[in-house]
Structure 1
Amino acid sequence: MSIVGKIYRGIELLFRFSVYALSHVSPRSDDLVVCTADPSGRFAENPKYVYLGLREREDIDAVWLARADSTANQLSDHGLPVQRGGTLGAKWTLLRAGTVIISHDIVGWELLGGATIVQTWHGNPLKQIGRDTDDFSPLRQWVQDYILRDWDVVTVTGSGTPKQTFTSAFGLSDDDLAVTGSPRNDPLYHDVEYSELDGLDEHAEWRTFISNNRCILYMPTWRRGTHGADGAEFDAHGLDFDTVGSFCEEHDLIFLVKLHPSESSDVGDYEHVLELPTSTDIYDILSEVEVLITDYSSVYFDYLLVDSPIVFYPYDLDSFSSGKGFYFEYDEVTPGRKAFTQPELLTAIDEILSGNDTYVDERADLRNEFFDHQDGHSTQRLIDRVLS
């Protein structure tokens, strides 16, 4: 960043912190709850299901803060309260909100002085996050501790390992943590009205297609910095989709590829290899998938609740783990076959399809370690904890 850019950034931050200080005097309504998810603009993640759960509360006005026009338009078309981020209406709503439910960064933080911030995060991390990463500066930690606290409550899925991890990552105390489970996992147990909405008009068609076909889902982690800046193109990570497609055709399978919202790709035109839109809310369809393939993505922790086989494809384990850092020994928290090459991956899938699932007990052990609640009522627990 140039000197001029740094000066401009400094002036901008000074102005925003000044607004933040003034926002503490804004009258806030305990009945007004704002929910929003990640910067991609999706209607997804834990805040989505809290928002939908709050529809049943007549004493609560829940508003979704949309960061994309498609999401704002879709929710509005279904009569769901929504504000487009960045508009005057959205800023006024943030100034009056008593509670804000988030899963990533805080949107419009300068307007939230005095509001209760509930951080639901976006999964149990295998990779180190927050204060446990090398790029978390002492200045940022000081700002969080003494000036701008990023949250008042952080929800976790378990009172053991997950609680310890988030305590370390965010410098939390027991009073900051609520063991509610992840609301986004509720649709793994039962239907949730409007769960098919995610800002994409074609989501319902995808859900029907997946329900009517035998599908395997490949969800590699986001390799920030591996392929460049945000929005970098996904490479095939050692996969030859011609061969994968032939294998799936032989076994009457669909190989679904779902990338991180910050990645883009062009998998190609195949009958048995299909790419889900990156903004897809996979928690509405995850229980329909027969096998999950991943490397380091936290989605596999949630898939433990489905109790179907997982294949781990950490083809770059040595280089990735040395760069990111893990909270655990990889082999100790990955209950599934490991494949490091495409032939090994296809062999692992073939064995599973033959009924050779040898990791049932290991999945159960890890599931019980990471999830205190396995019942589909995480949304209600969070609402009871935060809005009681």
Structure 2
Amino acid sequence: MRIYTYLVGRDSQIWVFSDFYSGQEFSQNKRYLFQYLSKENPGEDRPIWLTRSSELYERLLDEGYEVYKLNSIKGRYYILRAKYIPIDAGPGLFPWWLTGGANIIQMGHGIPLKASADSNTNWLHRLVSWKTPDYGVFSSEHERNHFNQYDSEAKARAWLDHRLDRDTHTIYTGYPKTDAIVSPAFDTIDGIDVVPEKLDIKESDVVIGYFPTLREGHGLNIDEVFDVERTEEFLQQNDAKLLIKPHRDLDTDTCILESNLIELIQPDTDSHQFLAEIDILITDYSSIYFDFLLLDRPIIFYTPDYTDYTRIRGVHPNYDNVIAGPRVNNFEELLKQLESIVNGTDEFAHRRQEIRNHFFKYADGNACERIVKSIKNT
């Protein structure tokens, strides 16, 4: 492929993107960089999305984006012609034997709070299906050091090992997905996104978001970690609404019943389209925490399964040093913290700013612009 690229060349206007490998098709950093290029640089850049999903293909086509089926002739052709291939986390769905000579831009999936997961990928698979990225995107030098500690004992993990490869050009720009939190400039797509206007949120409502992350080896019964009756009572008394958005791969067994005050967001939905609607975030070991820091709003870490979680998966070695909010282990403690915050107490405001300044060199919603400029200027 490198010989082919040398003879035929790759088109510096073409950027090729693809679905997320685990099924959340149009989301994360790739999605927002794709939308930025489509809107801001028409004629100068040509962003193309490749998808497995017939539904997503039709939706993007209707919105005027350039999109092809991943395994179509045109899909394969544009992988061969693209100069730039941005990816999130692992290699994803691309047939990597077609990418020789392209510039791979590794943007990652999120800043970790969890421990590094074990990789079942063997050395032969990594050898034939993966290549070192040309660019690694980070939000700050501090964040890169945080990643280094996260992966210090897991060098078998293909994507992160290569993301931190010494030959990769590091750029500290911030992440495209955080642009969507800070700036409302990104279009939502009906049928794929949760459109904020359809969440039935009143201006006076206190919006609480619960975002539990993946649990390998065990799921999470949300009915057991939330007392439904007392939750409803608290929401009614405080003009509040609860949005529950589980991780896309989280087994929730049975889920809390929805009502006028409690709404379940489908796991495959991109959180960043509506994250700015949330006033108080409840999470556990999820990287969504770091993204939410840019909004400078209260955060509670609800970890009722902390003992099991640390035994099965584990948390980042710096977990307790980087969280900026109370960590509670049962519903009683959670309710107490919620009541305190709703009544105006915010004991972690200074700590949030401190952690945000460590992890984000920029917080202005212009990460996409900086990424494109940095890559084109190297």
TM over 0.5: yes
How many residue pairs were aligned? Answer: 358
For residues 168 and 248 of structure 2, the distance between their equivalents in structure 1, rounded to whole angstroms, comes to 33
State yes or no: 1:184 paired with 2:196: no
SS at match of 1:160: helix
Runs of 4+ aligned residues of structure 1 deviating over 6 Å after TM superposition are 20-23
Q: Given the superposition, is the C-alpha separation of residues 292 and 210 from structure 1 closer, same or farther in structure 2, using an over 3 Å criterion? A: farther
Match of 1:16 in 2: none
Work out the CA distance in 1 between the residues paired with 2:196 and 2:62: 15
Distance 1:251 1:290 in 2: 13
Shift of 1:352: 0.3
Residue aligned with 1:260, SS: coil
In structure 2, relative to structure 1, the CA distance for the partners of 1:77 and 1:209 (3 Å cut) is: farther
Give the alignment partner of residue 30 of structure 1, picking from 3, 12, 21: 12
Task: Give the Cα separation in 2 of the matches to 1:29 and 1:59.
Answer: 12
Task: Pick one of 322, 325, 330 that aligns with 2:319.
Answer: 330
Residues 363, 83 of structure 1: alpha-carbon distance in 2 compared, 3 angstrom cutoff: same
Question: Do structure 1's residue 46 and structure 2's residue 29 form an aligned pair?
Answer: yes
CA contact (8 A) 1:198 1:280 kept: no
Aligned to 2:80: 95
What SS is found at the alignment partner of 1:305? helix
AA matched with 1:45:
Q
Is residue 217–residue 255 contact of structure 1 (8 Å, CA) maintained in 2? yes
Q: SS in structure 2 opposite 1:113?
A: coil
**Residue identity in the other structure for 2:18:** T
Residues 1:282 and 2:271 are matched in the alignment: yes
- Structure-2 separation of matches of 1:24 and 1:33: 15
- Counterpart amino acid of residue 282 in structure 2: I
Instruction: Tell me the distance in 2 between the aligned counterparts of 1:261 and 1:104.
Output: 15
- Cα distance, 1:361 vs structure 2: 1.0
Ranges in structure 2 where 5+ consecutive residues have no aligned partner: 152-159
Query: Equivalents in 1 of 2:10, 2:69: separation in Å?
Result: 20
In 2, Cα distance between equivalents of 1:104 and 1:37: 12
Cα deviation digits, residues 162-203 of structure 1 (max 9, x gap): 345158442422743211101111122222141x12752653
1:268 aligns with 2:249: no
| DSSP 3-state at the match of 2:233 | helix
Tell me the SS of whatever aligns to 2:225.
coil
- Report if the CA contact (8 A) 2:36-2:186 is conserved: no
Is 1:315 matched up with 2:304? yes
- Counterpart CA distance in 2 for 1:219 and 1:302 is 12
Deviation sequence 1:222-279 (CA, Å, 0-9, x none): 113223xxxxx86445223333122212211111100112246543232211101222
Residue identity over aligned pairs, in percent, reads 26
**92, 99, 104: which one aligns with 1:117:** 104
Alignment of 1:1-388 (within 5 A): 27-39=9-21, 40-55=23-38, 56-57=40-41, 58-106=43-91, 107-108=93-94, 109-129=96-116, 133-135=117-119, 139=123, 143=127, 148-166=130-148, 168=151, 169-170=160-161, 171-173=164-166, 175-194=168-187, 196-197=188-189, 200=192, 203=195, 205-206=197-198, 209=201, 213-227=205-219, 235-236=222-223, 238-263=225-250, 266-388=255-377
Give the AA of the match of 2:127.
V
| Cα distance in structure 1, aligned partners of 2:226 and 2:235 | 13
Mapped to 1, the partners of 2:365 and 2:329 lie a distance apart of 34
CA contact (8 A) 1:41 1:66 kept: no
Give the C-alpha shift of residue 323 in structure 1.
2.5
Please, what is the CA RMSD of the aligned residues? 2.7
Q: Is the 8 A contact 1:119 1:154 kept in 2?
A: yes
In structure 2, the CA distance between the partners of 1:257 and 1:270, relative to structure 1 (3 Å rule), is same
Q: Give the Å deviation of 1:204.
A: 5.0
Q: Which residue of structure 1 aligns with residue 155 of structure 2?
A: none
Maintained 8 Å contact 1:43/1:198? no
Stretch deviating more after TM superposition (183-192 or 294-303):
183-192
Q: CA deviation at 1:69?
A: 2.5
What is the SS of the residue equivalent to 1:327?
coil
